[in-house]
Amino acid sequence: MSTIARIRWISGPVLRAVTEGVFQMREAVEVGETRLLGEVIRIEGEEIVVQVYEDTTGLKPGVEVHGSGRPLSVPLGPGLLGNIFDGLLRPLAGTGSPYVLPGLRAAPPLSFVFTPTVKPGKRLESGAVFGTAGAAANEARSQKLLIPPNQGGEVIQVAAAGSVDEDAPLLTLRGAEGKEYTVAMRHDWPVRAPRPVIEHLANDKPLLTGQRIVDSIFPVALGGRAAIPGGFGTGKTILLETLAKWCTADVIVYVGCGERGNEISGVLEEFPELEDARSGRKLMERTVIIANTSNMPVSAREASIYTGVTVAEYFRDQGLHVALMADSTSRWAEALREVSGRLGELPGEGAYPAYLSSRLAEFYERAGRVTTLSRAEGSVTIMGSISPPSGDFSEPVTSHTKRYIRSFWALDVKRAQARFYPAIHPLQSYSEDVGPLGAWWQATGNARWPELRRRFLTLLEDQARLDRMARIIGKDAMPPRQQVVLACAELVNEAFLRQSAYSPSDRYCSPERQTAMMKLLARFIEQAEAAVAEGMDPGALARLPVYRKLVRMGEDLPEEALEKYEQLATELEQAFTRVSKADAHAADR
């Protein structure tokens, strides 16, 4: 017997209903004859407030709302990988389609080849692995099957190996109270509840991305949290896609929150085409996309980031490293604002509800590197883009997000306009994980990483200061020492920070190559300062052939040519020896 309530008032995706029984906060409900999916978001005495995840056209006062007695949950199983869903994991109607089939509650179960790894008599704790699921078409992508968290017991019966659907019972377990129950490939999990782990681990390993300004300057940890704020068209989506393609995660969960319908269908069309640089297959094979299009109710968009992080945790629990991209969290916050507005709540800053900040926390705080229940290491790294109106980073979504993230990659309108990509501004961005990740770089061939990184940033700061003066009095009129700063900062920008996502030789940069480039640039800076101190004309720096070679090294010296960086180092030493000789001769004459 389910509890019932009757609609008293309805506005778009939210309704108020008078209860005839007890409802729980966050309980899943079904509304009306077509059993539309909804969730209790507030309880006020005899009344519940429900947010409905489907089109509510036609609902009116008096219509029944049925309680389910369970929190809003999504089914987690091997069928997620490679597929596209809405904010509640209902599959989209077809490739590139922005529609969900109406009335569809969950993805229909898919078939996988079950291979058990346990026998009757074994005791399994919650989160333990009991077998694998392999797709007939792609054996390589076999996935671990887990006992759901909060379950466990003695194995009574195991199904035979073979092809089964995701909901078929595979194990019979006898739990602590002697009660028997079955476990299938997929299980339900409430989207707003973090999945349990044994312990959280330190953020002292990097999530490598192959992007120099990220890895070497503003790194993000495995299990870290990053934000990408950027005005309209500054490259947020391209950067997230580039990170998805090259980062060292095993699984990508991409949550797309679009305002305009075409924004998301772009991702739906492009993503399935992206090539997986590591396997040469399609990136989509190890990706789950959660898409919110403009024709879906805003409430589904509000739930989608929690659904996304729940899916990410599910793969983490299999001992995998997962990268979750949310693009853009501003569109998510707008959904929160719209629902709040319809409820007549007192608006806070920017008309967002006062709980914007705690909702952001509930999302970002689920990132982390952990020991899973099955004693494996797994992680969820969250990267969220923000689209601040008119590019103003002091607005509420950006400022509240800053409280919960550790890496901040601020996209700069001026850089983007100059087609300087990625347009991450080196002076407005930061990473709070530089300390622990510095130790990683030092142990991985770049003993001077913290120092070189600081050197680059100081140079760029000095450049920002001197640029104004240079514009007023002209570069040539500035003291030689300051001209060196300008020339070297320009070199760091062009040779290191700039990196084309479309260049076959430079779109990915390994840690070894980043280290080689960093050392060369640092050596050039040292040599340039020394040479100019001894009288060299600073204007001549940018004319040195080696300067031009350094600017082009990302493009001209690809991964396969790492040894060429040694040659360039020798050339660099000789360039300055020659310069000082030439100067000496000039002085003699």
Ligand X SMILES: Nc1ncnc2c1ncn2[C@@H]1O[C@H](COP(=O)(O)OP(=O)(O)OP(=O)(O)O)[C@@H](O)[C@H]1O
The number of angstroms, rounded, from the C-alpha of 229 to the middle of its chain's C-alpha atoms is 13
The CB-of-385 to ligand X minimum distance in angstroms stands at 7
Nearest-angstrom CA–CA distance, 132 and 144: 5
How do beta strands 138-146 and 27-31 pair?
Answer: unpaired
Contact segment (CB under 6 A) with ligand X among 22-30, 175-183, 205-213, 497-505 equals: 497-505
> Which of residues 132 and 237 has its CB atom nearest to ligand X in the complex?
237
| Choice from 3, 56, 237, 401 touching Mg ion (CB under 5 A) | 237
Contact segment (CB under 6 A) with ligand X among 110-118, 236-244, 337-345, 511-519 equals: 236-244
Residue 407 interacts with ligand X (CB under 6 A)? no
Nearest-angstrom CA–CA distance, 98 and 94: 8
Nearest-angstrom CA–CA distance, 393 and 411: 10
Residue 509 interacts with ligand X (CB under 6 A)? no
Binds 429: which of ligand X, Mg ion, none (CB < 5-8 Å by kind): none
How do beta strands 407-408 and 225-229 pair?
Answer: parallel
Half-sphere exposure of 355 (CA within 13 A, CB side): 11
Neighbours of 394 (CB within 10 A): 7
Site for ligand X in 343-402 (CB under 6 A): 387
3-state secondary structure of 100: strand
The CB-of-235 to ligand X minimum distance in angstroms stands at 3
| Choice from 79, 87, 152, 230 touching ligand X (CB under 6 A) | 230
Binds 554: which of Mg ion, ligand X, none (CB < 5-8 Å by kind): none
Number of residues that bind Mg ion (CB under 5 A): 2
Binds 233: which of ligand X, Mg ion, none (CB < 5-8 Å by kind): ligand X
Contact segment (CB under 6 A) with ligand X among 81-89, 166-174, 233-241, 363-371 equals: 233-241
| Choice from 3, 234, 407, 514 touching ligand X (CB under 6 A) | 234
Nearest-angstrom CA–CA distance, 206 and 434: 10
The CB-of-326 to ligand X minimum distance in angstroms stands at 13
The H or E element that residue 585 is part of is helix 564-588
Write out the two tokens for 429. 């961005």
Residue 236 interacts with ligand X (CB under 6 A)? yes
Question: What one-character-per-residue DSSP string does 394-461 give?
Answer: TSHHHHHHHTT-SEE--B-HHHHHTT-SS-B-TTT-EETTHHHHHHHHHHTT-TTHHHHHHHHHHHHH
> Which of residues 348 and 391 has its CB atom nearest to Mg ion in the complex?
391
The CB-of-501 to ligand X minimum distance in angstroms stands at 4
The CB-of-353 to Mg ion minimum distance in angstroms stands at 24
Binds 68: which of ligand X, Mg ion, none (CB < 5-8 Å by kind): none
Q: Are 134 and 112 in contact (CB under 8 A)?
A: yes
Contact segment (CB under 6 A) with ligand X among 160-168, 332-340, 500-508, 535-543 equals: 500-508
For residue 353, CA distances in Å to 180, 281, 340, 372, 386 come to 45, 44, 6, 35, 17
Binding string, residues 47-76; x marks residues near ligand X by CB under 6 A: ------------------------------
The CB-of-234 to ligand X minimum distance in angstroms stands at 5
Contact segment (CB under 5 A) with Mg ion among 136-144, 231-239, 297-305, 533-541 equals: 231-239
Nearest-angstrom CA–CA distance, 520 and 14: 60
How many Å is the maximal CA-CA distance in the chain?
Answer: 104
Nearest-angstrom CA–CA distance, 74 and 93: 18
What is the 3-class SS of 47-70, one letter each residue?
EEEEEECCCCCCCCCCCEEEEEEE
Interface ranges with ligand X (CB under 6 A): 230, 232-238, 387, 421-422, 500-502
